[in-house]
Structure 1
Amino acid sequence: MAEPTTLPEPESTTTPASASRPRGLALGLLRTARPRQWAKNVLVVAAPASAGELFTTRALIQLPLVFVLFTACAAAVYLVNDARDAEADRAHPVKRHRPVAAGQIPVPVAYAVGGTLAVLAPTAAAWLCSPRTSALLIAYLGLQLAYCFSLKHVLVVDLVVVTTGFLMRAMAGGLALGIPLSRWFLITTGFGALFMVAAKRYSEAVQMAGKQGATRVLLTEYTVGYLRFVWQLAAGVAVLGYCLWALEEGGVPHTGLLPWRQLSVVAFVLAILRYAVFADRGAAGQPEDVVLRDRALALIGVVWIALYGLAVARW
C-alpha cells in the first residue's frame, strides 16, 4: 500500500538571509565606526577641565554634544578609509575581516554613509554649538581624509597628522565653550599626543622587525632608532611644558592647603615614565590597552586627575 504523499510546506516569503541583511549591515557599519576608538574623543573635555569649567551648566550641555559630533566625524573618516582600502585590506591577514573588506558592507554604501556623516556633523555643530566648532570639524575631516588618500604615505607627515587629530579633539571643547586655549595647554597636549603616537609606531616597528608585510609599508621606512628619538623628545617637551604651567606665576590661583599644581607634576611625570616602560619594550602598540590593563598606570592616572582637578578648580 502506497504511503500518503506529504505536500511540501510553502516557503517563507522572507528568508533568514534577507531578514538579517539590514541588521548585519547596521552591525557592520557600527564595527567600521570603531567603537573602541571612541574613548579618544573624551579629549573634548580637556580644555574645559584645564580652565576649571568642566562642571558648569553650559559645559554639561555642550560637551556631550561635541563628543557625539566628533565621534560622527571620526566614523566618517573610518568608513571612507575602509572603502578606499577595501582591495588592499582583503590581502591583509587581519584587515581582511573588516566589514567592508569582507563584503558585509558594499563599498558604495560605506562611501555614502561616510559622506553623509561628514556633511551632517559640521552642519549640526554650526547650528548647535558654534561656527568655530564647525570650522574645527571641517578642518579635522579635511586633514584626516587627506591622510587616508595620500598623507599616510609621507614620512614624518603621517606622525604630524595623527598627532594633530588628537590635538583637535582636545581643542574642540574649548572652542565650543569659548574658552581661551593657553600656550601651555597646547604644548603639553600636542607633544603628549606625539609621544603616544610615536611610541605606538615604535612598538609596531619593534614587533614587525624581521617580518615582511606585517603592517603598513611606510613603517618599514622608519628606523627604530628614529622613532625612539621622536617619542623621547616628545615626552621631554610635554613634561617641560607641564612643569612650566605648574610653576608659572600669575596662573590659576592657588586654592586649598597644599600647592596642588606643583604636586600634580609628580603624578604627571610618573605617568609619562610608567608609559615609557611599555614604549621601550615595544608593547605600546595599543595605547588604550596599556592604560586600561596596567593597574599602576591607571592608579597614577587617577591620582593625577585628582590633583589636577584640585589645581584648576574654581571654588
Structure 2
Amino acid sequence: MAILIALFKTVRPRQWLKNFALFGALIFTGLLYQKGAFGLVTQAFFIFTILSSATYIFNDLLDVSTDRLHPFKKNRPIASGALPIPVAFFALISGTIIGLTWAYTLNLFFFISCLVYLFIQVLYTGFLKKIAIIDVIVIALGYLIRVYAGAFVISAHMDVWFLLTVISASLFLAVGKRRGEMTLMMSSGKGSSTRETLKHYTEKLLDIYTAMFATATWITYSLFTFNHPKIVPDGRALSLISILPKTLISEKWMMITIPFVVYGIMRYLQLIYEKNEGESPERVLFSDKPLIITVGLWVVVIIGVLYYIA
C-alpha cells in the first residue's frame, strides 16, 4: 500500500487538471451532444492522464541524483526511496505502452499527437527546461497539443481565434508560473537557485511578459466570442426571441462570458503579486474559491449560451 501511495504522489494527480483542455474543441464546436463524441474525448482524457503521469515518473527518475541533494525535492517518493526505482521504471514503461496502444485504437492523428507530446516532454525534461524563454514556450505547447488532440479524436474543426486564445492563455499561465516562483522565492529569501532558468529572468522582464500575455488572452478571447458562429441548438433550446425585447436580441451571446475571463485573469494576477501564489496554476485552481466559482460559472454560461439559447 505504501508503494501505491508513493506512486500516486509521483504521478502528480493535481497536474491532471491540464488534461481538461482536451474538452475544449468538443464544447466550442457544438459537438457536446453528438453521439459518441463525449465518450471519445473522455477516453482521450484518460489516455493523456496515463501518458502525462509517465512523463512525471520519467522526470523524477532522470533527476533522482540531484533531487536527493535538494532541500525539498529530496522528499519526492523516488528520491527518498519510498518508491523503488525498479517499480517506478516498470510503471513508466507500462503506462507508456498502455497509453500509446489505447491512443492508436482511437484515431491515427490523435495517436501522433500523443507521440509528439511525449517527444516534447522528454526533450523538456532532458534539457529544454534549462533554456530561458524556450521553457515557457514548451509548457504552453503542452496545452496546445492537448487541445488539438481533443479535436483530432472527434474530427472537429477549430476556429483560428480559439487557437490564438489557447496559445495566449497557455503562455500567460506559463509565464505566470515563473513569475509566481520568483515572487515566492523573493519573499522567502531563497534566491533563484531552485530553478535554473530563473537566473536568466529579471523581475521586470517577467512582469512585461505577464502583462503582454494577460492582455493577449482577453483580447483574443473577446474576438473569438465575437466571431464565434452561431450554433443551431436542438429541441432543448430556449427561444429568447419570444421572451426578450428586440433591443436585447443578439447573435453574440458568447460575449457575455468575457467578464468571467477578465475577472479570472485579474484574480490570478492578484494571487501572483499580492498573495505570493501562482507558481502552481493547478493548485491555485483547486484551492482558490473565487477562481473555482468563476471557472464554474464560465463553463455553465458557455454551455447554456451555446446549447440552450436559440
Q: Give TM-score, length-normalised by structure 1.
A: 0.86
| 1:197-216: CA deviation from partner (whole Å, max 9, x where unpaired) | 11111011122124246521
Distance change in 2, residues 1:279/1:252 (3 Å): farther
CA distance in 2, matches of 1:111, 1:68: 20
1:272 aligns with 2:278: no
1:112 aligns with 2:90: yes
RMSD of the TM alignment (CA)?
A: 2.0
1:224 aligns with 2:203: yes
Corresponding residue of 1:153? 130
Corresponding residue of 1:8? none
CA distance in 2, matches of 1:78, 1:297: 26
Q: For residue 57 of structure 1, what is the amino acid of its counterpart?
A: K
| 1:188-229: CA deviation from partner (whole Å, max 9, x where unpaired) | 111111111111110111221242465212212211111111
CA distance in 1, matches of 2:286, 2:127: 32
Match of 1:290 among 257, 265, 284: 284
CA distance in 2, matches of 1:274, 1:51: 28
| Rg larger in structure | 1
Match of 1:311 among 281, 305, 308: 305
Corresponding residue of 2:99? 121
| 1:216-260: CA deviation from partner (whole Å, max 9, x where unpaired) | 122122111111111211111111111112222x72248753542
CA distance in 2, matches of 1:78, 1:111: 11
Q: Greater CA deviation, 146-155 or 102-111?
A: 102-111
Question: How far off its partner does 1:110 sit?
Answer: 2.3
Q: For residue 274 of structure 1, what is the amino acid of its counterpart?
A: R
Distance change in 2, residues 1:212/1:276 (3 Å): closer
Match of 1:83 among 61, 73, 97: 61
User: Matched residues, percent identical?
Assistant: 28
1:207 aligns with 2:174: no
Alignment check: 8 A CA contact 1:63 1:173 kept: yes
Structure 2 runs not aligned, ≥5 long: 234-238, 241-248
CA distance in 2, matches of 1:244, 1:83: 43
The size of the alignment, in residue pairs, is 291
Instruction: Tell me the secondary structure at the aligned position of residue 168 of structure 2.
Output: helix
Instruction: Tell me the secondary structure at the aligned position of residue 211 of structure 1.
Output: coil
Q: For residue 271 of structure 1, what is the amino acid of its counterpart?
A: G
Distance change in 2, residues 1:47/1:252 (3 Å): same
CA distance in 1, matches of 2:180, 2:4: 33
CA distance in 2, matches of 1:104, 1:296: 36
Q: For residue 138 of structure 2, what is the amino acid of its counterpart?
A: V
Corresponding residue of 1:18? none
Q: For residue 91 of structure 1, what is the amino acid of its counterpart?
A: L
Q: Greater CA deviation, 31-40 or 252-261?
A: 252-261
| 1:250-289: CA deviation from partner (whole Å, max 9, x where unpaired) | 7224875354212111222222222222123332122233
Q: Greater CA deviation, 225-234 or 145-154?
A: 225-234
Question: How far off its partner does 1:87 sit?
Answer: 0.9
Instruction: Tell me the secondary structure at the aligned position of residue 298 of structure 1.
Output: helix
CA distance in 2, matches of 1:149, 1:121: 21
Structure 1 runs not aligned, ≥5 long: 1-22
Q: Greater CA deviation, 230-239 or 294-303?
A: 294-303
1:197 aligns with 2:191: no
Q: For residue 226 of structure 1, what is the amino acid of its counterpart?
A: L
Question: How far off its partner does 1:178 sit?
Answer: 0.5
Q: For residue 87 of structure 1, what is the amino acid of its counterpart?
A: S
Corresponding residue of 2:246? none
Corresponding residue of 1:15? none
CA distance in 1, matches of 2:142, 2:300: 26
Q: Greater CA deviation, 254-263 or 42-51?
A: 254-263
Corresponding residue of 1:235? 214
1:25 aligns with 2:3: yes
